[in-house]
Structure 1
């Protein structure tokens, strides 16, 4: 993965957020909805954000243009993508938004657009990011950080992309790359499979890595990039994720998997928690 291409891609899509902003609408959960959240249901399974369909379409198109121009991901984005999006019907727009929010029909949409499922997920996540970041800010002030100790995001259900160690005791905060929510998690334990057996958990923290650690789980073969802020001070984890692609390559080469690349919300739509 070309870090420079990825960085320029995100700069261009950040500019498009200014062109097609999503309205910031306060959301207040009812007591019953808060109870569902405490049982482990992400907010998006309880209440849906209000999204302007046309605004989302324009945002998706802007992201597609930037992706075609920069090719920031390993999966090739075809030249036909923009024409395919421009030919969407009204029904297509409804179904695209449904797929974006609920994580459904991903295989069908990827085939329709000539993309891999991973590339389609990437486009959807970047298109949704500004909306869900605002949605998270409107929601999370209603809760206390210690009230959620699950390994997935309390707002959108995604698995964490990174973590930070902060404070004198080095408490661990997980970070969602989709809506930028952060939440506390156990210092020892894999957020992806819940494994807390220290004999199957380890991390790489060689001197050459400086403030970075790569936490490894032998049970599910996942890894999680982590920044120790006790060494470097406070950082922006969104930027850190882009800047540490070489750590991803190191972990992947050793046979571990990055788990946040899938749309996690679909896991909650067919079951009660």
Structure 2
């Protein structure tokens, strides 16, 4: 099990030029748990994750990792503890899968250190965990969108950090691979104690896999807590402007959101909600 680390945002305000996206936000990430951040498009989910990994400097407030301001920490020191998979990462032209995944080991390399057996084993384990071993010698730019996403996740896993931030890790993946990736993250959390924070669009997958759910609306935390407390019909209406019913998923026991649109609803009572 990995050591627990504290990560929280304190009165955080973020934006781009004249536009403020996150307003005076407070957020504490539960150590050793799996947190999912949900919210409507352009509500600030990805912006928040970028600042928590120090890619975006706040205009006010701070992000603290173990009591230290992340924006003042040396990059390599931060990268040994906290890893990030951004939403649309770019790979150098012509790089192979194994070389890209190997870059996840950079934070563990010193000026005089050499590539070691531990590095080889970390890369191999990450490729195997993501079902990417057969892609190791292929160029990344030859892969499908789903294959690339699995390779990027492998690079994040090879970094072997105690905290892992993932922005839409299921992007480009079909349903089967979405479930595989989320199962993998749960295994990582349970086996190594890795604290995981991920942005997800799918509310039902978020509720099924996360221990802690954070709903963002208008640049602020609308609600946070266990999925059965956060994923309610009232929250979905307030955060997404969507009328729905929330029932208990018979397979997981977690909340399951059923959207109510104008079509496909079989009762007049449901239409009047």
TM-score in terms of structure 1 length: 0.31
Q: Which has the larger radius of gyration?
A: 2
Structure with the higher fraction of residues in strand conformation: 2
Structure with the higher fraction of residues in helix conformation: 1
TM-score in terms of structure 2 length: 0.31
Q: Which has the higher contact order (CA 8 A, sep 6+)?
A: 2
